[in-house]
Amino acid sequence: MQPELNHPPTFSVSELNREAKHLLEGHFDWVSVEGEIGNFTAAASGHWYFTLKDNDAQVRCAMFRRANSRLKYRPNQGESVQIRAKVSLYEGRGEFQLICEHMAPAGAGALQLAFERLKNRLSAEGLFNVEHKSIVPSDAEHIGVVTSPTGAALQDILTVLGRRSPHTTVSVFPVAVQGEGAAEQIAAAIQRADELVQTESLRLDALIVGRGGGSLEDLWAFNEEVVARALFAAKVPTVSAVGHEVDFSIADLVADVRAATPSAAAELVSADQTELLQHLDGLSDRMTRSVNRLNRDLSGQLLSLRKRLRHPGYAVRQQQAALTRYRSSLGHAVQRHIVMRESASRQLIARLKSRHPRQQLENRKLQRTQLSHQLGRQIRQRLRGARAEVAHQQKLLSSLGPEQTLNRGYAIVSDAAGKVVRGPGEVTSGDALQVRVKGGVISTEVSAKNDA
């Protein structure tokens, strides 16, 4: 008997696709895939549909509006990107696909690492320090712009200046803002503009360096060290205006001021003519009020002076009264002066009499007699004192002399040369000695000596 065959379960197409979808989504978590964009389509709904391919294969991808609205850029056909996605299957067609949640240019991670390393090194060197930054004027009359001559950034700057400050002069230093050699062009343009300012060949109040928005790769020229060094060395005040508000570059950190966009940079270095006109109107009103107030004050002062003004006759009478007072005071002063002079004359006459030569001679004679008596007394006193002192010193000298020492039984020993011997160490056996005692001298010879 033939055995029964086990028949597999039968699925509808929808059921099979659904089971395959569940199997794929359950097996794979988030995946990161790198490849080249192809067949890019932006639907009216806001969703993006594209394929991601390499040399050997491709996969369909979808990025819904909720996810792509968070990106800072829109990918282009043929760009290499890296996506983070969920693995899924489109049931309606049974097509394997990736649901993309995030996208970045391929190699952006390496660029970001290079950015951080350069930023840290330049920061350690002090290129970002505030003390190195110049003040950027807010009402520049002449502005330099280093950017692409065909880019939207230049048009944005010119539009803002035309609206806010049409009198401002703009000098454009055209450069490539992305691609090979762009960084070197930008650095050379910054150096050229600064040289023109330093040599007074061109007057620039500020220099704007920037471009419009783009991916990290598009903006990379402004993250190059050569551009950072040129900005740091520039003496002219610099404004970095790279990309959109969310973009940030090394140039932003080194420049004297960072503007969020090229338009914001133009606003930063220009004064709004509307505001200036309003300010002038306000000043005019204030001046008119001040002039009117001054006129009122002067009119009040004039009225007050008119009330204080007196008839000339009144002033003459006042002067006459003052003259009478002065005459009376002068008479009294003259009289007092005469009396004082007469008293002084009498005093001088009395002093003159006391100083007559005859009187002076008598006074000198009397003084001489008195001084002579005093001198005699002092001389005698000094002589008596000197004699007493001499006698005292003679007694003292006699008591300390060698004769008194000899009288007390002591002797003075000297060698053959007459030098006084003070101890045994100064003689040797056989030396001739002279011993002086009271009443004479004894000659002797050293036969032995004992040291103490």
Mean per-residue pLDDT over the chain, rounded: 85
Q: Domains in the chain and their CATH numbers? A: 13-106 (2.40.50.140), 111-272 (3.40.50.261), 409-445 (no CATH)
Predicted pLDDT at 109? 60
- Would you say 250 and 222 are in contact if contact means Cβ atoms under 8 Å apart? yes
For residues 236-250, average pLDDT: 88
- Among 134, 265, 282, which Cα is nearest to 212's? 265
Type of residue numbered 112:
Q
Say what the pLDDT of residue 435 is: 84
Q: What is the mean pLDDT of residues 181-191?
A: 95
pLDDT band at 394 (very low <50, low <70, confident <90, very high): confident
Q: Using CA atoms, how far apart are residues 241 and 154, in angstroms rounded to an integer? A: 11
Closest by CA to 412, choosing from 433, 383, 432, is 433
User: Cβ atoms within 10 A of the Cβ of 369, count?
Assistant: 10
Write down the pLDDT at residue 73. Answer: 67
Residue count of the chain:
452
What percent of the chain is modeled with pLDDT above 90?
33
Would you say 431 and 424 are in contact if contact means Cβ atoms under 8 Å apart? no
User: What is this structure's pTM?
Assistant: 0.44
Mark out the alpha helices in 237-356 (DSSP H runs).
250-254, 262-268, 273-308, 312-354
Backbone angles phi, psi at 184, to 5 degrees: -65, -40
Could you report the per-residue pLDDT of 288-341, keeping only the tens digit for each? 888 888 888 888 888 887 777 767 777 778 888 888 888 888 888 888 888 888
Q: What is the mean pLDDT of residues 372-380?
A: 89
Distance of CA 81 to the CA centre of its chain: 47
- Tell me if 189 sits within 8 A of 175, measured CB to CB: yes
Who contacts 6 (Cβ-Cβ below 8 Å, separation ≥6)?
Answer: none
Per-residue pLDDT band for 176 (boundaries 50, 70, 90) equals very high
What does the pLDDT read at residue 300?
A: 83
Q: What is the pLDDT of residue 244?
A: 81
